[in-house]
Structure 1
Amino acid sequence: MNVAVVIAGGSGHRMGQDIPKQFINVYDKPVLIYTLEGFQKHPQIDAIELVCIDGWHDVAWAYAKQFGINKLKWIISGGNTGQESIRNGIFNLEDKCSEDDIIIIHDGIRPLVDETVLSDVIVKCEKYGNAVTSMPYNEQIFVADDDISTVKYIPRETLRRVSTPQAYKFGKIDWAYHEAFENEIGIYGSSYANTMMVELGERLYFAAGSDKNIKLTTKDDLEMFKAYLKADKDNWLK
């Protein structure tokens, strides 16, 4: 079984809106539904679990019914951090998943889930036990020597930009979140499932990525998302 765990537990203060950014409507559809549709339409996804901000569960269920997201099986509450939210999602699956089931973790505010990227994440996870969406880094990266200068750079050929979706065998990711929270490893700051796994000594495997896989954090990101949607619509009209 392949289960998508969609993380939508944030409040989205940086967007400056009155509602969580995952519930902002874009062309008469919530951002979160665009995200869920990517998993709903993919033939290899068997079930969806949504980790959602408290007070919005009923709204999420209502939207799922309205837009035909019938693969959505569970909605649970998020935590105070992204890592706590992922942990809650993983732990909720302990009596529902087997060791070799594939868990695909994805940000609810990354609404442009590419079908080929999702397929490659699943294939790589089946082969290696995990897979992380990645892209080459095309800018030069310099290390600050002080506040105003540098004497060192990191060759960009050695770098990858990693985001979600990420896939892990359930037995391994369940073990990892127990280990991490019991021993306080890789669970603070901007850490995520992938960085936590590395801190626990695990090797990660790269899967395909897409430049369209943007994370909606600011109003500018939202405008970019709208532009992508309009471009897709225009291409379809041609």
Structure 2
Amino acid sequence: MKKFAVIVAGGSGKRMGNAVPKQFLLLKDKPVLWYTLDSFLRAYADLQVILVLPPEHVDKGKTIAATLPGGDRITITTGGETRYHSVQNGLKLVTASSVVFVHDGVRCLISVPLIQRCYNQALVKGSAVPAVAATDSIRILNGAGHAVADRQLVRIIQTPQTFLSNIIVPAFQQQYSDSFTDEATVVEAAGNEVFLTEGEYDNIKITRPVDLIIAERIVSERTRMM
């Protein structure tokens, strides 16, 4: 089946305290976004990448794509007002019945096995949303108080959130709601069941400066193991 990966990279970098958007920060001499794109291009030789960027950063995206093996499989489009609208713009370029991955551009440590696991489950169940068990104690706010939650029942959601195109594309034709926090919530609002799959603790999102330090260490360790 055909494969499309919608990579959303519209961050501004405000929480990083940096004028450079986090997807373009350097990680071991390469932009964070380079690693994300590279993993998807290596996962499947027939996978098409749809890279969603702010209009002012399209040229940067083209420069990165030109440095990647398989970079000719990357198509760039521009984002919208919210993540929902950016994903919606990317999905407009899904032109065939397919499996569609939607991934955060700054989850740059995504592994090829995780991508392939999501693909294989989506073929069988229609969706695959990676998730990891919570390791910290969890409390739920309840009015003026709070209560302990059973962390064994808590899952932290990651990307790539992966769906058959006949599920996700129609879901993103419904009217936007503030309750849409990710692709899974959009798909559920359209009346579809969503299935989780095992994620990876290394599949972190680069949000704060410390995340970049952690990512550098992980990349170094992976390089030594090659």
Would the TM-score normalized by the shorter structure come out above 0.5? Answer: yes
Name the residue aligned to 2:106: 109
Where does structure 2 lack aligned partners over 5 or more consecutive residues? Answer: none
Structure 1 Cα separation of the partners of residues 214 and 180 of structure 2: 24
Structure 2 Cα separation of the partners of residues 144 and 120 of structure 1: 35
Alignment of structure 1 residues 142-161 onto 2, 5 Å: 142-145=139-142, 149-150=145-146, 152-161=147-156
Q: CA deviation at 1:214?
A: 0.4
Name the residue aligned to 1:228: 218
How has the CA–CA distance of structure 1 residues 146 and 176 changed in structure 2, closer, same or farther, with 3 Å as cutoff?
A: closer
What amino acid sits opposite 1:133 in the alignment? Answer: P
Q: CA deviation at 1:192?
A: 1.2
Deviations 1:43-75 (A, max 9, x none): 265211100111111221122112324253310
Alignment of structure 1 residues 1-238 onto 2, 5 Å: 1-43=2-44, 46-93=47-94, 96-98=95-97, 101-145=98-142, 149-150=145-146, 152-179=147-174, 181=175, 184=176, 187-188=177-178, 191-236=181-226
How has the CA–CA distance of structure 1 residues 88 and 104 changed in structure 2, closer, same or farther, with 3 Å as cutoff?
A: same
What amino acid sits opposite 1:215 in the alignment? Answer: K
1:164 partner SS: coil
2:50 partner SS: strand
2:11 partner SS: coil
Where does structure 1 lack aligned partners over 5 or more consecutive residues? Answer: none
What amino acid sits opposite 2:121 in the alignment? Answer: K
Structure 2 Cα separation of the partners of residues 44 and 105 of structure 1: 18
Structure 2 Cα separation of the partners of residues 85 and 203 of structure 1: 23
What amino acid sits opposite 1:229 in the alignment? Answer: V
1:55 partner SS: helix
Structure 1 Cα separation of the partners of residues 80 and 47 of structure 2: 25
Instruction: Report if aligned partners of 2:65, 2:72 keep a CA contact under 8 Å in 1.
Output: no
Structure 1 Cα separation of the partners of residues 210 and 179 of structure 2: 24
Q: CA deviation at 1:153?
A: 2.4
Instruction: Report if aligned partners of 1:36, 1:69 keep a CA contact under 8 Å in 2.
Output: no
2:109 partner SS: coil
Greater shift in the superposed pair: 30-39 or 40-49: 40-49
How many residues align? The count is 225
Instruction: Report if aligned partners of 2:16, 2:22 keep a CA contact under 8 Å in 1.
Output: yes
What amino acid sits opposite 1:48 in the alignment? Answer: V
Instruction: Report if aligned partners of 2:13, 2:19 keep a CA contact under 8 Å in 1.
Output: no
Structure 1 Cα separation of the partners of residues 30 and 49 of structure 2: 19
> Please, what TM-score do these two structures have when normalized by structure 2?
0.92
Deviations 1:149-174 (A, max 9, x none): 53x32222222111101111112111
Structure 2 Cα separation of the partners of residues 164 and 50 of structure 1: 15
Structure 1 Cα separation of the partners of residues 101 and 46 of structure 2: 9
